[in-house]
Structure 1
Amino acid sequence: MTFRAHILGAAAGGGLPQWNCGCKNCDLARNGKIPPQTQSSLAVSGNGESWAILNASPDIRHQLAQAPPLHPTGLRTLPLTSVLVTNGDIDHVAGLLTLREMQPFTLFATSGIHDVLSQNPMFDALNAAVVARETIALDTPFTLAPGIKATLFPVPGKVPLYLEGDVVQTDLIGDQTVGVTLETSDKAAFYIPGCALLTDDLRGRLEGADLLFFDGTLWQDDEMVCAGLGQKTGARMGHMSMSGPDGSLAAFKELNIGQKIFVHMNNTNPVLRPGSEEKAAAEAAGWTIGQDGMEIT
C-alpha cells in the first residue's frame, strides 16, 4: 500500500487572506500576487481509495471541492472513512458542522477533546446514529483508515482560546493538544499542527521519521506585535516560532527526518511569500513550505 497525504489547508486560523486583515501578505493574496491558503487540515490515505481527514477546518466545504480524491463516487458515497481532531480550536473543529449532512464516518478524538465537543449542543447536529464518536487514549494505536495505524501523543500546548481563564498555561501536557503518528507497513509520518516547544520526549519520537508536518505558525515570536496586529506572541498562543535560538529551524537541525513540511502558518508569516528571505532560509534548513493542494506520496 502507498501512503498519500493531501494538504487541504496550510494556513492557521483565519486563512490567507484573513477577512479583516490588511497586512502585506493578505493584500498580496487578494491581489493575486501570492497563493491564498485555507485553514489547517490534512487528508491521508493508505490505499488511495479510503481517506481520513485530520482536523475539520471552517473551510472544509471548499477544501473538499478542491480535492478530487475525496469527491463523491456515488449519490451519497464518499471515500471519507474518518475525521480526527487534534485539539478543540475553532479552526480545527468548526468544519464538523459542515459535515452534518447525514454522512457516515467515525470521529476520533481524545476524551478531553470529545468533552469539549459534547459541552456544545451545536455539535449534536452530527447525528450519533450516523457519525460514531470514538474516544482514543494517548499512546494507544488504532486504525485511522485502511492501511494506516495512528497513535495520539501529547505535545506542549494550551486549551482553546474560548476556554482560557485568567491564567493560561501555554506548555500544558495532556490530551487537549495532541500530535499524530501515522504508520504504514514500512513508513512513519507525524502530524503536529500545534506545538509550544520541542521536548526531549517529542524529540525522541520524531527521530528517524520519514515525514513530518509541523507547526509553522509564526516566523518570529513577536511577529504579530511588530506588525501592529495584536499583543500576543507566538509563545503566548502556544506555538513554536520558526526562527531564533529556540525556534524550530534550530531545534530540528540535528534530527534525522526524511521530509519536513511546515503547515498551520499564520497570515503574517513571511515564508508564505515566494522569494522572501525567510522562505529561502527555511528551505535552506531542509523545510518545505506547505501549500493548499500539495500532495506527498
Structure 2
Amino acid sequence: MKLLVLGSGAGGGFPLWNCHCRLCSSWRRGELDASARTQSAIAISQDGRPGEGWLLINASPDLPQQIRATPALQPVHAGDMPIRAVVLLDSRLHHVAGLLSLRESRELEVYATPLVFEDLTAELPLLHVLESYCRVRWRMLPIAGDVRSAAFEIPGFPALSFAAVAVPARAPRHARLRSEAAGECIALQVQDLRTGRRVFLSPALAEVGEAELAWMRQADCVVVDGSFWTEHGMQEAGIGSVSASDKGHLPQSRHGERPGMIDALQASGAPRKVLTHIHHSNPILDRRGAQRRELLAHGIEVAHDGMEIEL
C-alpha cells in the first residue's frame, strides 16, 4: 500500500494569501526554513505502480495543482482516469471544494456519510452542480445514529479493506446550526490484506478518547490532525481569538489537565506517527524551531506536500 500526501496544510494552506502573521510573513521574506503547503488531501493506491488506480481522500480546492505536481495521478493514455474514487471524511469546504475540479470525469464514485451527503446536496450543493457535468455515483458510508464504524470495500482496490470510524468534530460553518451527530466527521482505517498492515487517517480530530485510541493502537502508521500547537495558538499568533477546541481540533500540547495530540500519539504505540492538516500559525512549520525538535524527540513526523508513505 502506498500513500501520497497531496496537501498537508489546513484551510487556506501555507502561507495563507491574506495573512501577515510571523510565519507567513517570514516565509515570504525567505527567512523561514519551511515548505509551502496546499490544502489537506491524501491519495492511496495498492502498490503505486504506473497506471494503477488511486483513491482520493478528501478533495482539496488545490486539487488541480496537486495533480500537476504528482505524475502518478496523471493519465498515461487516452481515456485513463487514475483517480478511481473519492472518500470524503467531512464536509468542510477545504475538503470538498475540489470535487468541482473533477467535473471533466466521465463518472465519479464518491463515498461519504449520510450527513455529508445531506450537506453537499442542501447546505453546500456541490454534488448537484457536479452532476450537471459528469455522472456521480454516491456510495453511502452508514455512519449515523448509534452506528460508529462500518467496514466497506471499494471496487478496483481488492487488496485493501476499509473501515469508516466516527470521530469527534465540529460542524462546518455552513452547517453550524445543527448539533454534533455521528457522521459529521469520520476517520479512515485502511488495511493491506496481503501484509496485514494498517494505516489510520484522521486529518480533522477534535478529541482522542478511548474509542479513537483503540483504533490508533491497531495501526502501523497514524496520520492525524496537526492543526495547532497550543489551545490558543491563533491568539498567540495575533490572528484571532478562537481556540483550537472552538475550531474542532486537538492541539499537540497539553492544555491544563487535558492531554494533547503528542500524548495521544505516544499512547497509541504506533510505529510511525505523522501530523498533517497544519494550520498556517502552527510553529511546527519551522523546521529549525523548538516545537519541531520536540516532535522529533517523540518520534513524530510532520507531513509535507509530496510525502510518500509505504506500508
TM range, smaller chain: over 0.9
Contact 1:155 1:173 in 2 (8 A): no
Alpha-carbon spacing, 1:102–1:209, altered in 2? closer, same or farther (3 Å): closer
Residue correspondence of structure 1 range 197-216 to structure 2 within 5 A: 197-216=207-226
Partner of 2:166: 154
Unaligned runs of 5+ in 2: 144-148
**2:127 is aligned with 1:123:** yes
Contact 1:16 1:29 in 2 (8 A): no
Deviations 1:115-167 (A, max 9, x none): 110114443232286221111113222223512211111101111112113xx
Provide the C-alpha distance between the structure 2 equivalents of 1:133 and 1:83, rounded to a whole number of angstroms: 10
3-state SS of the aligned residue for 1:267? coil
3-state SS of the aligned residue for 2:153? strand
Residue correspondence of structure 1 range 35-184 to structure 2 within 5 A: 35-48=35-48, 49-119=52-122, 120-127=124-131, 130-138=135-143, 139-144=149-154, 145-146=156-157, 147-165=159-177, 172=180, 174-184=182-192
Say which is worse superposed, 69-78 or 263-272, in terms of deviation. 69-78
Contact 1:193 1:213 in 2 (8 A): yes
Say which is worse superposed, 184-193 or 143-152, in terms of deviation. 143-152
Aligned amino acid, residue 58 of structure 2: N
Alpha-carbon spacing, 1:209–1:121, altered in 2? closer, same or farther (3 Å): closer
3-state SS of the aligned residue for 2:102? coil
Overall identity of the aligned pairs, in %? 28
Partner of 1:222: 232
3-state SS of the aligned residue for 2:266? coil
Residue correspondence of structure 1 range 255-294 to structure 2 within 5 A: 255-294=268-307
Provide the C-alpha distance between the structure 1 equivalents of 2:103 and 2:110, rounded to a whole number of angstroms: 12
The list of structure 1 runs, each at least 4 consecutive aligned residues, that deviate by more than 6 angstroms after superposition, is: none
3-state SS of the aligned residue for 1:253? helix
Provide the C-alpha distance between the structure 2 equivalents of 1:107 and 1:31, rounded to a whole number of angstroms: 41
Partner of 1:250: 263
Unaligned runs of 5+ in 1: none
3-state SS of the aligned residue for 2:293? helix
Provide the C-alpha distance between the structure 1 equivalents of 2:137 and 2:27, rounded to a whole number of angstroms: 38
> Structure 1 length as normaliser, TM-score?
0.93
Provide the C-alpha distance between the structure 1 equivalents of 2:250 and 2:216, rounded to a whole number of angstroms: 16
Deviations 1:30-86 (A, max 9, x none): 344421000000001113211001010110010011111111122331211101111
Alpha-carbon spacing, 1:23–1:12, altered in 2? closer, same or farther (3 Å): same
Provide the C-alpha distance between the structure 2 equivalents of 1:18 and 1:255, rounded to a whole number of angstroms: 32
Say which is worse superposed, 22-31 or 279-288, in terms of deviation. 22-31
> Structure 2 length as normaliser, TM-score?
0.89
Aligned amino acid, residue 160 of structure 1: P
Contact 1:208 1:258 in 2 (8 A): no
Provide the C-alpha distance between the structure 2 equivalents of 1:29 and 1:91, rounded to a whole number of angstroms: 22
Aligned amino acid, residue 43 of structure 1: A
**Number of residue-to-residue matches in the alignment:** 291
Deviations 1:190-249 (A, max 9, x none): 100111111111111111311111000000010101212111100111100001252111
State the superposition RMSD in angstroms: 1.6
3-state SS of the aligned residue for 2:77? coil
Q: State the 1:178 CA deviation.
A: 0.7
Q: State the 1:173 CA deviation.
A: 5.2
Aligned amino acid, residue 153 of structure 1: V
3-state SS of the aligned residue for 2:66? helix
Provide the C-alpha distance between the structure 2 equivalents of 1:251 and 1:47, rounded to a whole number of angstroms: 30
Partner of 1:25: 23
Provide the C-alpha distance between the structure 2 equivalents of 1:65 and 1:73, rounded to a whole number of angstroms: 13
3-state SS of the aligned residue for 1:113? helix
